[in-house]
């Protein structure tokens, strides 16, 4: 389970996230004011998306701090999953916002409102620049964190939304097509929903203790049983402790004639799992074949 990490110094990363938060909050205020003055639902929709990005960055910032705490008596696995919980909150919020914007757009279709095209184009143009700056601030960190990756993808979506809003404002100026404003809003909400729903599954998998999607559990079982002296394995658990850390727990049944070498066999299994799958957290319970669990299932416990 190899990962290509792009590590960023924690303090430098925190500064980048803090700057991105401030930039997005300022942009959100400008877009809301502009949207109200221009009568543009699309501009307000883009502002809400930017605000959700700012909130997600704030949550990500707090989660990054919490995740660095060491393990203790209360949290024996540490606090690394704080970022996964934050990602779940962010994606859930995005889904709610996307559904709300879709509802408002449909309502606007039945009662189109006049829109100030020039104000829309100017503010959306500023938003596009800000979105690009925010994406640049978070790009490197997005390679190594589901939390920051969510924020980065949101800003890419914002940039696309700003382009769509500029297009809508231009069409209003040229042709007076006010109906384009709710149409663009519906497109933005659709993109938000598609993005959030496509990403939230991976976060839920981690929280549900699912096996890493890139790892075949049957291959792990085969790798363990292929070690000389292993008769069989059972009660196998494979899960993601954190985004980039997988763990294995299993009962290893050793043939009687190899029991004296059980410590060597256990070390060999751990080495194979680390080399082949990148799994360094391994807990193995050794059993001699005559005393092995009766009618034990291969995966999990009954």
Burial, 170: exposed, middle or buried (Cβ in 10 Å; 0-12, 13-18, 19+)? middle
Q: How far apart, in whole angstroms, are the C-alpha atoms of residue 98 and residue 34?
A: 21
* pLDDT of amino acid 18: 79
> What are the residue ranges in the chain where pLDDT is below 70?
1-13, 42-43, 45-46, 49, 112-117, 120, 154, 157, 302
Ordered DSSP codes for 251-283? EEEE-GGGGGGHHHHHHHHHHHHHHHH---EEE
* pLDDT of amino acid 1: 40
Q: Which two tokens stand for residue 14?
A: 């925190």
Query: Please, are residues 247 and 239 in contact by the beta-carbon 8 Å criterion?
Result: yes
Residue carrying the six token digits 């601030």: 137
* pLDDT of amino acid 5: 42
Q: What is the largest CA-CA distance in the chain?
A: 86
Q: How far apart, in whole angstroms, are the C-alpha atoms of residue 239 and residue 79?
A: 16
Q: How far apart, in whole angstroms, are the C-alpha atoms of residue 126 and residue 73?
A: 49
* pLDDT of amino acid 105: 81
Q: What is the pLDDT of residues 216-264, one digit of tens each?
A: 999 999 999 999 999 999 999 999 988 888 999 999 999 999 999 999 9
Which domains are assigned to the chain? 10-207 (1.20.1510.10), 217-291 (3.30.70.1350)
* pLDDT of amino acid 11: 55
* pLDDT of amino acid 2: 39
* pLDDT of amino acid 117: 62
Which residues lie closer than 8 Å to 131 by C-beta, 6 or more apart? Answer: 27, 50, 155, 156, 158, 159, 162
Q: What is the pLDDT of residues 46-70, one digit of tens each?
A: 677 677 777 777 887 888 888 889 8
The crossing angle, in degrees rounded to 10, of helices 180-207 and 146-175 is 170
pTM for the full model? 0.74
* pLDDT of amino acid 23: 78
Residue carrying the six token digits 């790892």: 215
CA-CA-CA-CA torsion sign (114, 118, 124, 127): negative
Q: How do the residues of the chain divide into helix, strand and coil, expressed in percent and rounded to 5?
A: 65, 10, 20
């Amino acid at each position: 389970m190899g990962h290509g990490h792009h590590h960023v110094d924690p303090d430098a990363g925190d500064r980048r996230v803090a700057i991105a938060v401030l930039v997005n909050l300022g942009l959100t205020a400008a877009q809301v004011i502009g949207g109200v003055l221009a009568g543009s639902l699309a501009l307000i929709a883009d502002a809400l998306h930017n605000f959700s990005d700012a909130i997600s960055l704030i949550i990500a910032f707090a989660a990054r701090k919490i995740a660095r705490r060491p393990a203790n008596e209360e949290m024996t696995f540490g606090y690394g999953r704080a970022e996964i919980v934050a990602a779940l909150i962010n994606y859930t919020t995005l889904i709610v916002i996307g559904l709300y914007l879709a509802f408002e757009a449909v309502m606007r279709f039945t009662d189109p409102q006049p829109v100030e095209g020039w104000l829309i184009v100017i503010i959306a143009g500023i938003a596009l620049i800000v979105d690009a700056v925010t994406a640049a601030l978070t790009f490197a960190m997005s390679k190594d964190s589901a939390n920051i990756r969510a924020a980065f993808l949101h800003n890419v979506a914002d940039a696309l939304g700003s382009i769509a809003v500029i297009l809508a404002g231009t069409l209003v100026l040229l042709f007076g097509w006010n109906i384009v404003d709710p149409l663009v809003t519906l497109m933005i909400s659709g993109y938000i929903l598609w993005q959030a729903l496509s990403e939230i599954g991976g976060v839920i998998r981690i929280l549900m203790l699912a096996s890493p999607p890139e790892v075949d559990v049957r291959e792990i079982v085969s790798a363990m049983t292929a070690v000389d002296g292993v008769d069989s394995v059972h009660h196998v658990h494979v899960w993601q402790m954190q985004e980039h850390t997988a763990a294995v727990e299993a009962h290893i049944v050793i043939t009687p004639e190899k029991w004296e070498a059980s410590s060597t066999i256990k070390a060999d299994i751990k080495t194979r799992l680390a080399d082949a799958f990148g799994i360094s957290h391994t807990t193995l319970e050794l059993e001699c074949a005559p005393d092995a669990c009766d009618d034990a299932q291969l995966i999990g416990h009954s």
